[in-house]
Homo-oligomer: A and B are copies of this chain.
Amino acid sequence: MSQRKLFLLPGDGIGPEITAELEKIIAFMNEKADAGFTVEKGLVGGSAYDAHGVAISDDDMARAMAADAVILAAVGGPKWDNVPYEVRPEAGLLRLRKDMQLFANLRPAICYSALAASSSLKPELVEGLDILIVRELTGGVYFGEPKEIIDLDNGQQRAIDTQVYDTYEIERIASVAFELARTRDNRVCSMEKRNVMKSGLFWNQVVTRVHDEKFSDVKLSHMLADAGGMQLVRAPKQFDVIVTDNLFGDMLSDVAAMLTGSLGMLPSASLGAEDSETGKRKAMYEPVHGSAPDIAGKGIANPLAMIASFAMCLRYSFNMIAEAEALEAAIADVLEEGYRTGDIMAEGCKKVGTAGMGDAVLAAL
């Protein structure tokens, strides 16, 4: 059994606590199933800033590049609100995405039936919800230049950000969306603002061409991003796969995540291109939730999104489909059995802390 190199980045806030639960699962899989995971750990975000004065050190960046998969918990917190822009916690996350060229961000918005009642939407609208948002992650306004604040002659200042998309960037993310749709309900809805943005118009054209040339078996529709936000709130089950740019993806995936009532539960995967020789791809896995500084260190954070992110890692980085499904089933089981951390607590359920939840998943495995 070859070694599987995992690089864990616990980050800030509740990150270390939920990472500890994941480590239990990894150890269990090594012991019981000889899975051959090796684990290294590094620093990112505020914790890296405190140690090294940067949001991720070159050394940790190199280790991330060398790993088979990176698993990051969460970054940020009020402690670092006033550090310089270049070294703010998020800069570590953005450098990982950019340097590893993780252009495809997969954000499933699924509603665990045990949690449908905790959605702010009416349960019948979200019960059984299973959407996949495919967000472009290395382009757009996140990285385009110029990106600056300048002094004008008239004594005023001007802030500029630039949304940039090249043909290949849209082609590759569209292809990922179409390929994934084929493994699901075979429908893709592309969202942009073509009525206002030239990049939206271009996005629409390239996605349509990629569809017509290579994926005409997949059903493609288009929606303006603002209407898309509305439709997510009105009738989320109408969607299968949604493909959209970096900034719209940020907004829309957060709205979609909140709909499920399972925000503390949702994983994500950020994937690079497949190496044509080795067939391997760089990848990073993260929970969708943040670092929750208000509850950090109390042992009450929900580790399930972190564990579900590892299930995505098993699937996409190691092709361990059976193991991924077993882990996802274990998560669904503990919910059915009534285990709840504080964030998803409901009447009649068993309240547990971070470690209690991790142990419950281990037991279910």
Q: Which residues of A are in contact with B by a Cβ distance under 8 Å?
A: 76, 85, 88, 90, 94, 120-122, 125, 141-142, 144, 147-149, 152, 156-168, 193, 195-203, 225-227, 229-230, 233-235, 247-248, 250-251, 254-255, 257-259, 263
Partner of A198, one of B159, B202, B257: B159
Instruction: Determine the distance from Cα of A159 to Cα of B203 in the docked complex, in whole angstroms.
Output: 8
Contacts of A248 in B (CB 8 A): 251
Given A156-B166, A163-B163, the answer on whether A230 and B255 have CB atoms closer than 8 Å is yes
Instruction: Determine the distance from Cα of A235 to Cα of B119 in the docked complex, in whole angstroms.
Output: 11
Given A163-B141, A167-B156, the answer on whether A226 and B199 have CB atoms closer than 8 Å is no
Contacts of A263 in B (CB 8 A): 230
Contacts of A164 in B (CB 8 A): 158-160
A-B contact pairs, 21 of them (CB 8 A): A76-B195, A85-B201, A90-B195, A120-B121, A120-B233, A121-B122, A121-B233, A147-B197, A148-B198, A159-B165, A160-B199, A161-B200, A162-B162, A163-B163, A193-B247, A227-B254, A229-B229, A230-B258, A230-B263, A233-B255, A233-B258
Contact B90 A196 (CB under 8 A): yes
Partner of A234, one of B161, B227, B247, B258: B258
Distance from A202 Cβ to chain B, minimum over Cβ atoms (Å):
4
Given A251-B251, A255-B229, the answer on whether A234 and B203 have CB atoms closer than 8 Å is no
Contacts of A168 in B (CB 8 A): 156
Given A226-B250, A250-B193, the answer on whether A159 and B201 have CB atoms closer than 8 Å is yes
Given A148-B198, A202-B157, the answer on whether A251 and B225 have CB atoms closer than 8 Å is yes
Most chain B CB inside 10 Å of its own CB: which residue of A88, A161, A248:
A161
Distance from A187 Cβ to chain B, minimum over Cβ atoms (Å):
20
Closest B residue to A202 by beta carbon equals B159
Distance from A200 Cβ to chain B, minimum over Cβ atoms (Å):
8
Contacts of A250 in B (CB 8 A): 193, 196, 226
Closest B residue to A165 by beta carbon equals B159
Contact A159 B199 (CB under 8 A): yes
Instruction: Determine the distance from Cα of A247 to Cα of B263 in the docked complex, in whole angstroms.
Output: 25
Given A120-B234, A196-B94, A230-B257, the answer on whether A158 and B147 have CB atoms closer than 8 Å is no
Contacts of A152 in B (CB 8 A): 166
Instruction: Please give 15 more A-B residue pairs, beta carbons under 8 A apart, in addition to A85-B201, A156-B167, A233-B233.
Output: A76-B195, A90-B196, A141-B196, A142-B196, A149-B201, A156-B168, A157-B166, A158-B166, A159-B165, A159-B202, A161-B163, A161-B200, A226-B251, A229-B251, A233-B255
Contacts of A160 in B (CB 8 A): 144, 162-164, 198-199
Instruction: Determine the distance from Cα of A147 to Cα of B201 in the docked complex, in whole angstroms.
Output: 11
Instruction: Determine the distance from Cα of A61 to Cα of B32 in the docked complex, in whole angstroms.
Output: 74
Instruction: Determine the distance from Cα of A149 to Cα of B147 in the docked complex, in whole angstroms.
Output: 19
The 6 closest A-B pairs by CB, nearest first: A159-B202, A159-B199, A156-B167, A230-B258, A226-B254, A161-B163
Contact B230 A198 (CB under 8 A): no
Contacts of A94 in B (CB 8 A): 196
Contacts of A259 in B (CB 8 A): 233
Closest B residue to A230 by beta carbon equals B258
Contacts of A198 in B (CB 8 A): 85, 147-149, 159-161
